[in-house]
Amino acid sequence: MPEPLRLGIAGLGTVGVGVVRIIRQHADLLSARTGRQILITAVSARDKSKDRGVALGSYDWEDDPVSLATRDDVDVFVELVGGDEGPAKKAVEAALAAGKDVVTANKALLAMHGQSLAEAAEQKGCALRYEAAVAGGIPVIKSLTEGLAANDVTRVMGVMNGSCNYILTRMETAGLSYAEVFAEADGLGYLEADPQLDVGGIDAAHKLAILATLAFGTKVDFDGIVLEGIDRVSIEDIRAAADMGYKIKLLGVAQKTGRGLEQRMQPCLVPDSSPLGQLDGGTNMVVLEGDAVGQIVLRGPGAGEGPTASAVMADVCDIAKGWRGPVFGLPAGQLTTATPARTQLPAPYYLRMSLDDKPGALAKVAKVLGEAGVSIDRMRQYGHEDTSAPVLIVTHKTTPDALRTALDAMQSTDVLAGSPVALRIEAV
């Protein structure tokens, strides 16, 4: 049997402890499947004295992850520290410079520095693997780089933040406001220390940037993503969307268009009968579309000790079996610079507004929409609320620019009781 594969693990939080447990519990299985032993030689974390529920005394301890990354008895540096700068970035760069293979769960690091890290890894002939960085236990990276390698990928989309999906699902099922469910999720520990990473769509956008690179052969371009969080989604929108046959999801979409690469992470309506519409709770779902395969749907746990550690170990096993290849599917030097498509493809939109109780109010709104080139597919008006009446409109396909022109013009009609809400309806 070949020499053991020796790991150095930086970061002993939930995922790091999960990796330790898998290696201990499945040592024989891992050896049988890879043809060599997989061992941990050293670990690193901020607090050596912390009780993590697993014995670590048999491993060498390094206070500095950079020192861990460059040890002679470490073949694979496993980075589970997190963050796009600081110790994580320094340690990964040090590992690659020292000719070490790297496995990471750090989506922020790859979204912000993926190109330079891929170039460094490929120059040294090192593996840089990151299945755990996107959608937890769902093997979406392998699906794009291996299972769909013969396809021209046309679109990638999905729900990639379980915390946001939990909040939106809980609002719907319990009839609670966003503020109430946000406080509940925060109290349960479902949100990051900086909750804006979740509810602002940043965490999910990091993942989308990685998937777009793999799907379309472009350099990672996080700044090219149109980004909007869920904090403006109200219980009224959720109820109204349901009444029209839709669910609201924080949806990431990446697709090539004639104007460039369209990348957006924003609340969208999806049909309630679709796979994405039926996705509840903290589960993730990624939909991949290719010219040969058509559409495939991947669904599973997007976070947690077991699922994410499972993805980390999938990469470790590939390295143990001798896997080598470009970091993002194509050699880093062949990745192209994407032109961000700021003008999105046409789509239908959901509009909710309250109109003053005045004669001809609805006619004025319809006229403004028509003059902007936005046609109405369906409309629903509800009973009066004091001096105003709620109105729902579903448009035919239109461009964001045309819709924005119409919404701006509505402000001068003197019939709006408050600002209208507009959400894209995504075809799935």
Provide the annotated active-site residues.
207
The string of DSSP letters for 366-385 reads HHHHHHTT--EEEEEE---B
Element (H, E) at 76: strand 76-79
- Burial (CB count within 10 angstroms: exposed 0-12, middle 13-18, buried 19+), residue 379: middle
Residue of 421, 408, 262, 426 lying closest to 343 (CA atoms): 262
State both tokens at 164: 């946001």
Q: Give, in degrees to the nearest 5, the angle at Cα 333 between 133 and 95.
A: 50
Residue of 71, 93, 89, 76 lying closest to 19 (CA atoms): 76
- Counting every residue written for the chain, the total comes to 428
Q: What span, in angstroms and rounded, lies between the C-alpha atoms of 424 and 406?
A: 15
Residue with tokens 């709620």, as numbered in its chain: 390
State both tokens at 224: 């090219």
**Cβ neighbours of 344 (radius 10 Å):** 19
Q: What span, in angstroms and rounded, lies between the C-alpha atoms of 125 and 201?
A: 34
Residue 391 sits at φ, ψ, to 5 deg, of -130, 135
Whether 120 and 96 have beta carbons less than 8 Å apart is answered as yes
Whether 251 and 268 have beta carbons less than 8 Å apart is answered as yes
Q: What span, in angstroms and rounded, lies between the C-alpha atoms of 310 and 307?
A: 5
393 - beta bridge partners?
351, 379
State both tokens at 194: 């900086």
State both tokens at 64: 């500095």
